[in-house]
Amino acid sequence: MQAGWNAGVFTNFMLGDHFSISPEVLYSRVGAKIKTTTTQNDVNVSTDDHLRLSYVNVPVMAKYKFTGGFFIETGPEVNFNVSSSRWQNQSVKDITNGAEFAWGLGLGYQSPSGFGIGARYNQGISRVDKVGDATWNDITLHNSSFMLDLFWTFFNNKK
C-alpha cells in the first residue's frame, strides 16, 4: 500500500430526516509498492518499484445520518483510470483497465455548520490489471483504499 490523496465534490439528496443519496466526483492518486525478486548468477536480487495510478471516482453513497451529526454510508463506485505515469518502461494505461468497479463503506461526523470528517474503506470488485492470466507474479490486482476526508458542505447542514 502507498499513501495518496483525493479531492472532489459531492451533494446530498435528502430523503426524509435521516436518509440521503450522495453522488460524488473525486480525483484520486493511489499506488502500490511492488517488490520483485529475480535471480542473477545464482543470487536473488530484490527490487522495489512504485506503481502509481490516477482515477476519477464516481461513487453513489447511501447515507444514514443519526441525530447529532454522525453518519454511516455505503455504496458502489465506478473508477475511471486517467493515469499518465510509467511503470517499468510501460505506460500504466497500457497495463491497466480503463475502468474498475468498487464498493465503499464509511462513517463520519458532520457539524451543524457543515464542517465534517469521514473515513471510508473502498474495496475493488473488478481487476485493475489488463492481463487475463495474472502474470504479475501469479497475483490478481484489485484496488483497495482507506480514505480519511475533511469536508465542508454549503447546503443541507441543518438536517
Give the pLDDT confidence of 48-75 residue by residue, as tens digits: 666 778 899 999 999 999 999 999 999 9
pLDDT, tens digit (0-9, with 9 covering 90-100), for 90-126: 677 777 788 889 999 999 999 988 899 999 999 988 8
Domain count of the chain? 1
For residue 109, is it within any domain?
A: yes
Q: Which of 121, 128, 118 lies closest to 79 in space, CA to CA?
A: 128
In this prediction, residue 134 carries a pLDDT of 43
- What dihedral do alpha carbons 99, 100, 103, 104 form, nearest 10°? -60
For residue 41, is it within any domain?
A: no
Model's pTM, two decimal places? Answer: 0.78
Q: Any alpha helices (H) in 87-139, and if so which ranges? A: 92-95
How far, in Å, CA of 33 to CA of 6, rounded? 19
Q: What is the CATH number of the domain that holds 116?
A: 2.40.160
For residue 157, is it within any domain?
A: no
Mean pLDDT of the chain: 83
| Burial of residue 158, with CB atoms counted within 10 A of its CB: 0-12 exposed, 13-18 middle, 19 or more buried | exposed
CA angle 30-77-96, nearest 5°? 45
How far, in Å, CA of 81 to CA of 56, rounded? 7
Band the pLDDT of 21: cuts 50, 70, 90: very high
| Burial of residue 1, with CB atoms counted within 10 A of its CB: 0-12 exposed, 13-18 middle, 19 or more buried | exposed
SS3 112: coil
In this structure, of 1-5, 99-103, 126-130, 150-154, the range with the lowest mean pLDDT score is 1-5
How far, in Å, CA of 31 to CA of 98, rounded? 16
43 compared with 86, residue with greater pLDDT: 43
Range of the domain at 70: 2-36+46-152
For residue 9, is it within any domain?
A: yes
